Structure 1
Amino acid sequence: MTGYTHDAGITRRGWLGAAAATTAGLALPGNAFARALAPSDKVNVAVIGAGGMGASNMNRLVGQNIVALADPDLAHVAESFVDGEGAAIADRAALKAAYDRADKHADYRRMFDARKDIDAVVIATPDHHHAVAAKMAMERGIHVYVQKPLTYTVREGRVLLDLARRNPKLVTQMGNQGHSGDDGRRVVEIIRGGAIGRVREVQVWTNRPVWPQGVARPAAQAKPASLEWDVWRGPAAVDWGYHPDYAHFNWRGWLPFGVGALGDMGAHLIDFPVWALQPGLPTRIETRHSAWGGDTNPWDDQGPDELTSYPLASTTYYDFANAPGGPLRMTWFDAGLMPPTPRGLPPGVTMSAEGGVLYIGDRGMLMHNTYGEKPVLIGDGAAERAAAVPQSLPRIAGGLAGHELNWIRAIKGEEAASSPFEVAVPLNETMILGMVALRAGQPIDYDGAAGRVTNVDDANRFLDRTYRPGWEL
């Protein structure tokens, strides 16, 4: 795959060479700790980040053996089983029972030290932990399901892909469940089948962020007694102190912890044009945005190291000069910004304010919602041409809701994983490059084969990050 080699010395600091060196010698002789699994076996599953999204993921895996969980706030995990009125959530009773039986840890590093029976782990932490936890698991021969965005930086994605390639028995999956949906797979078939002709432009939009962003850093507060703040902070090389605008849900908009709206929803929305059109990595990226959040006047010319929260709204332009069908432009809108309404929408059809994708071809258009759902053909004859396109992609049992169990079946050798790192890493890199352009403050030209920004040397530092001692990648 173009742009994913093991060449060394590809930036001024040689970070990809270091990534390859880090994983050299780690080709594991199969899974050193997990059992050889037959289709009838249950998988020993652990979870890191057991509340929130982690609980949603794990609720689909209650038929397996949930043996351990790691979370720095077990009181918050307990809240995953009750509604806003404090009443038990009926369809989570089995998960609660499984969690009650599971071995519990605040720190996943200690969990990995203590448990040698883990076959697979779900990682549903804030973004800044994803790669560290995933690499630690993979080095122990543990299959991984990692929530999106797969990683916080470009280098981290390449490190994980290198590990996955060196250890092909490890089953990997990113948590972009739309990749398993029937509608999304049909979208890919229709686009590839030529129903709307050659696609030169794609427009993508989302209503995110729905969390604090574009604001200054708040003053630290006393942390809840149940929260192990030092563990929650993990790899982040800043110590701002606790605030509820960081933990537990609101971390996405803060630079040390999250990757903003693009990192949150890009894995769902950008997935389908990247999958259908196979454009390779972007060659030029530019982000226009509202004011950064900072500790001084947000319109001041602050350096990127002084910034605290991402801008409230942004538009990112991706150019793919090497797309096989010819140059492609993809535009990302967030914070409720949207492209113009396309002419010719069928009666009663509107653009979803939550998010969607519009493909503009030379024979028509196709529009769908966030997870590839509800595709609509626009233009004379487009629907008829789409109906004639045969099914060519396998369907995943359960569709969107079957993404986790697809990973389990892949671990047992029954089918292929829907969104393995071979697929997920270039998608994730495309997303994260939007954040690199945002932090660079100017258009960047990107050499995907070398993995470096070629026109703004200083921007290459945003392909990597600094880790707090004890939490290095």
Structure 2
Amino acid sequence: MPRPLSRRKFLAASAAVTGAATLGFPNILRGQNLNSKMNIAVIACGGRGRASLDGVKGENVVALCDVNDRAVDAAKKEFPEAKTFKDFRKLYDTLKDSEFDAVTVATPEHTHAFATMPALKRKKHVYCEKPLTRDVHEARLITLAAKEAGVTTQMGTQIHAGTNYRRVVELIQAGAIGPVTEAHVWVSRAWGWQSEEDAKTNKDIVWTIDRPKGESPVPPYLDWDLWVGPAPMRPYHDVYFPGPKWYRWWDFGNGTMSDLGSHWNDLPWWALKLDAPTAIEAGGPPPHPEIAPASMYATYEYGQRGDMPPVKLTWYQGAMKPKIWTDGGIPQWANGVLFVGSEGRMLLSDYGKHVLLPEAKFTDFKRPAKTIPDSIGHHAEWIKACKNGKKSTCDFSYSGPLTEANHLGNVAYRAGRRLEWDTKNMKFTNAPEAERFLRREYRKGWEL
């Protein structure tokens, strides 16, 4: 069984972080002219990696890395001077500190921590796509390492830069609907496994395959061994590659929760100033040993935060929806976030719209003054923060705990019971047997 992070090791790491908190930013960028360009190494160049590359192409792209030769070759045409690599471990072994200032990471999530940690140890700025890590243990390690490094970090939660999110956060924090004690988040996407019974009533959720028997030929442009990385080796098959097929498999991802949870749970996290949950309970079809569920729910309990009261946040995916939605008590938008306050409700959907309910009550409502500036762009915020020595909007001190919470929802689902969480010691006080889902063993040759 995977071993949980021991209390001794965690406290030692925390002490190291506390001692390092006064460290300044790396000399290479401290006081840098904001008009000068950073040297950036790009790890993963296709898919979301291409989006990261586009986000930083105004800087100096000095290195390109991908296990897919096609992705590297395409990027190389645009950045002919950049060094190229298949294995990001060799990238770190080869590049001197003077050759790069920052790294972007957009590999599949099961290698995020492995591509990010070496940069943090070398005090390089990091932009990493969501989810930050594959599991709770890795999220905690990366959060601590980022704090110790004292660099600028950003998780790729692009909607955090959206104007609509920022206006909703202002409304909630200004008390537009009174103190919030309940929040609900639902998404219609259903990537994963469902039971035969669910399949009868939810015909739009059809992906029910187990691990395939046999294998497909490995594409000549793909290094399959490097793609699998720290996960247990298995034969290549096109049910895993190209992405986002791999999201469904526990060895490589965590299904809809870790993917869309990074975006949709971000809003209540931000607006309600959430921290570590005290308890988590989840449900859905019986857990599959290899594949994340298509439909599930997870309820998180959070304690008092300053003057904000305790709150319950419930996540729903696939066929599951809040009762108020199924009863027709709110507009039945396919995806949404609902805040329930003492003076009303706030409903957001499709990233781009929100409404105060009941609408008649808020007809003459005067919005609070804008306190959160509109974004210059998610990557642009990170680049600017790197150059002026400040935190970005989704730095790892924020996105690390958010990632932990999302993963804890899946842990509770897989454990099949309510879990009471001691975040300081990373223990379930009522169910130590569930701690096996907090981390994994790594394939030989891979270490964090």
What amino acid sits opposite 1:337 in the alignment? Answer: M
Cα 1:156–1:15 shift into 2, 3 Å: farther
2:170 to 189, 192, 198: 189
Look up the match of 2:54.
59
What amino acid sits opposite 1:334 in the alignment? Answer: Q
Alignment pair present for 1:164 and 2:146: yes
User: Which residues of 2 match residues 136-155 of structure 1 at below 5 A?
Assistant: 136-155=118-137
What SS does the corresponding residue of 2:353 show, helix, strand or coil? coil
Look up the match of 2:88.
108
Alignment pair present for 1:126 and 2:101: no
- When the two structures are superposed, what TM-score results if normalisation uses the length of structure 2? 0.87
Look up the match of 2:200.
none
Q: Tell me the CA shift for residue 426 of structure 1.
A: 1.5
Give the conservation status (yes or no) of the 8 Å contact 2:4–2:435.
no
Cα 1:33–1:41 shift into 2, 3 Å: closer
Q: Tell me the CA shift for residue 273 of structure 1.
A: 0.7
User: Which residues of 2 match residues 359-378 of structure 1 at below 5 A?
Assistant: 359-369=339-349, 371=351, 373-378=352-357
In percent, how many aligned pairs have the same letter? 36
Look up the match of 1:317.
299
Find the aligned partners of 2:434 and 2:93 in 1 and give their Cα distance.
37
What SS does the corresponding residue of 1:438 show, helix, strand or coil? helix
Find the aligned partners of 2:164 and 2:396 in 1 and give their Cα distance.
22
Find the aligned partners of 2:363 and 2:132 in 1 and give their Cα distance.
35
Cα 1:268–1:384 shift into 2, 3 Å: farther
Look up the match of 2:41.
46
Alignment pair present for 1:215 and 2:194: no
Count residues with an aligned counterpart.
Answer: 424
Give the conservation status (yes or no) of the 8 Å contact 2:109–2:131.
yes
Find the aligned partners of 2:116 and 2:269 in 1 and give their Cα distance.
24
Give the conservation status (yes or no) of the 8 Å contact 1:344–1:378.
no
Give the conservation status (yes or no) of the 8 Å contact 2:183–2:337.
yes
Cα 1:23–1:320 shift into 2, 3 Å: closer
Find the aligned partners of 1:450 and 1:384 in 2 and give their Cα distance.
48
What amino acid sits opposite 1:47 in the alignment? Answer: V
Find the aligned partners of 2:30 and 2:83 in 1 and give their Cα distance.
19
The C-alpha deviation readout for 1:380-423, integer Å capped at 9, x for no partner, is 433543x33121223222xxxx1011111111107641111111
The C-alpha deviation readout for 1:262-281, integer Å capped at 9, x for no partner, is 10011111111111112321
Give the conservation status (yes or no) of the 8 Å contact 2:279–2:421.
yes
The C-alpha deviation readout for 1:22-77, integer Å capped at 9, x for no partner, is 98998988537779732111111111111000101211222111111111012245
Find the aligned partners of 2:4 and 2:47 in 1 and give their Cα distance.
38
Alignment pair present for 1:403 and 2:378: yes
What amino acid sits opposite 1:104 in the alignment? Answer: T
Give the conservation status (yes or no) of the 8 Å contact 2:16–2:148.
no
Q: Tell me the CA shift for residue 285 of structure 1.
A: 0.8
What SS does the corresponding residue of 1:394 show, helix, strand or coil? coil
Instruction: Point out where structure 1 has 5 or more consecutive residues left out of the alignment.
Output: 1-8, 82-94, 294-306
Give the conservation status (yes or no) of the 8 Å contact 2:189–2:318.
yes
The C-alpha deviation readout for 1:152-206, integer Å capped at 9, x for no partner, is 12222222222222222x1100000121221111111100111111211111111
What amino acid sits opposite 2:175 in the alignment? Answer: G
Find the aligned partners of 2:31 and 2:94 in 1 and give their Cα distance.
21
Look up the match of 1:394.
373
Find the aligned partners of 2:333 and 2:52 in 1 and give their Cα distance.
26
Q: Tell me the CA shift for residue 322 of structure 1.
A: 3.6
Cα 1:358–1:25 shift into 2, 3 Å: closer
Q: Tell me the CA shift for residue 244 of structure 1.
A: 1.3
| C-alpha RMSD over aligned residues | 2.7
Cα 1:77–1:52 shift into 2, 3 Å: farther
Cα 1:378–1:195 shift into 2, 3 Å: same
Look up the match of 1:198.
179
What amino acid sits opposite 2:400 in the alignment? Answer: V
User: Which residues of 2 match residues 285-434 of structure 1 at below 5 A?
Assistant: 285-293=280-288, 307-324=289-306, 325-339=308-322, 340-341=324-325, 350-353=331-334, 355-369=335-349, 371=351, 373-379=352-358, 380-382=360-362, 384-385=364-365, 387-397=366-376, 402-413=377-388, 416-434=391-409
Q: Tell me the CA shift for residue 15 of structure 1.
A: 5.4
Give the conservation status (yes or no) of the 8 Å contact 2:262–2:403.
yes
Find the aligned partners of 1:14 and 1:383 in 2 and give their Cα distance.
56
Find the aligned partners of 2:63 and 2:329 in 1 and give their Cα distance.
53
What amino acid sits opposite 1:335 in the alignment? Answer: G
Find the aligned partners of 2:319 and 2:71 in 1 and give their Cα distance.
30
Instruction: Point out where structure 2 has 5 or more consecutive residues left out of the alignment.
Output: 194-206
What SS does the corresponding residue of 1:381 show, helix, strand or coil? helix
Alignment pair present for 1:264 and 2:259: yes
Give the conservation status (yes or no) of the 8 Å contact 1:287–1:314.
yes
What SS does the corresponding residue of 1:205 show, helix, strand or coil? strand
Give the conservation status (yes or no) of the 8 Å contact 1:358–1:367.
yes
Q: Tell me the CA shift for residue 16 of structure 1.
A: 2.5
Find the aligned partners of 1:123 and 1:19 in 2 and give their Cα distance.
24
Give the conservation status (yes or no) of the 8 Å contact 1:195–1:382.
no
2:238 to 237, 240, 244: 244
Find the aligned partners of 1:11 and 1:31 in 2 and give their Cα distance.
29
Give the conservation status (yes or no) of the 8 Å contact 1:34–1:118.
no
Cα 1:244–1:17 shift into 2, 3 Å: farther
Q: Which moved more, 1:119-128 or 1:208-217?
A: 208-217
What SS does the corresponding residue of 1:178 show, helix, strand or coil? helix
Find the aligned partners of 2:25 and 2:181 in 1 and give their Cα distance.
44
Find the aligned partners of 1:276 and 1:335 in 2 and give their Cα distance.
24
Find the aligned partners of 2:81 and 2:190 in 1 and give their Cα distance.
36
Look up the match of 1:85.
none
Find the aligned partners of 2:55 and 2:395 in 1 and give their Cα distance.
19
